[in-house]
Amino acid sequence: MSSDTGERIGFIGIGLMGHGIARNIVEKGYPVTFLGRAKRAPADDLVSRGAVEVRSVEEVAAASTVVFLCVTGSREVEAIVRGPGGLKGALKPGSVIVDCSTSDPTSTAALAAELAPLGIELADAPLGGTPKEAAEGKLSAMVGAGDAVFARLRPVIETWAAKVVHIGVTGDGHRMKLLNNFLSLGYAAIYSEALVLAQKVGISPARFDAVIRGGRMDCGFYQTFMRWTLEGDRDAHKFTIANAFKDLKYLESMADAAGLINPLGNAAKNAFAVAVAAGAADEFVPMLPTHVGRLNGVDLAPPSSEGP
């Protein structure tokens, strides 16, 4: 497959999700210039597929008409855009920045307003899925952008997303992503507490799962979430507890700005805050039951593992 749109793609953030996205873009015919990193495997893989590695944000900007960012959150995005040698001063008018991170919508709107007088568009296209779907080109994307910008970006996004939804204006993608993560991470907090309580009253995770799986409370998230507790699979859902905590803090900020009382959002946030405080920041979300169990004197570490 080859691209005939004439777009030259820049990419910053070739981590767990970004590597798969960038790989799909270059494999489907777009020229890709990416910011290199010390961890060599993703960078070497992209180079082997025809992408060009550079050493500075300015070099990415010079080679690109559209630059994708796939980093941790708003702090990192702001540094890449506003910092010395950043995209704000290096991109040409007519360029587009696409933030695929899970970011604070307030920050996204502020950046868009700063960039508009320079003729640079900012779109947000946060992701749904895991690194597995990223590698397979089967993520979902919720895009915030004007109609013309969305039409321009859609062919590129479709190289890595099986489902592309135009949510609304810039910032709406990030707003929807926070709502999506509120649901998924809220499930994670509820599943964790339910599993610990079940074990406490004598119902094992396997017996718990035998009831839930295949019933009305089953879903794709539940299935990947349970693979740690049932099988000791560390890689079922590579999304850290620290990132979950960050996203729920962004949700709290959005709710505060909207004047919304959100006790359930805060309860979910606090479930992850406790795990972070206990030293589990770099563990993955499906490991949360193990940490909730420890607080309650319940061992939910998979029998085949040594625990997180």
Active site residues: 177
CA-nearest of 67, 120, 57, 61 to 93 is: 120
Distance CA 181, CA 224 (A): 15
Distance CA 264, CA 276 (A): 19
Distance CA 249, CA 53 (A): 34
Strand locations in the chain (E): 9-12, 32-35, 52-54, 66-69, 96-99, 121-124, 127-128, 139-144, 161-168
Q: Centre a 10 Å sphere on the Cβ of residue 147 and count the other Cβ atoms it contains.
A: 9
Angle, alpha carbons 297-300-268 (nearest 5°):
85
Residue 161 gets the label, from left (phi > 0), alpha (psi -120 to 50) or beta, of beta
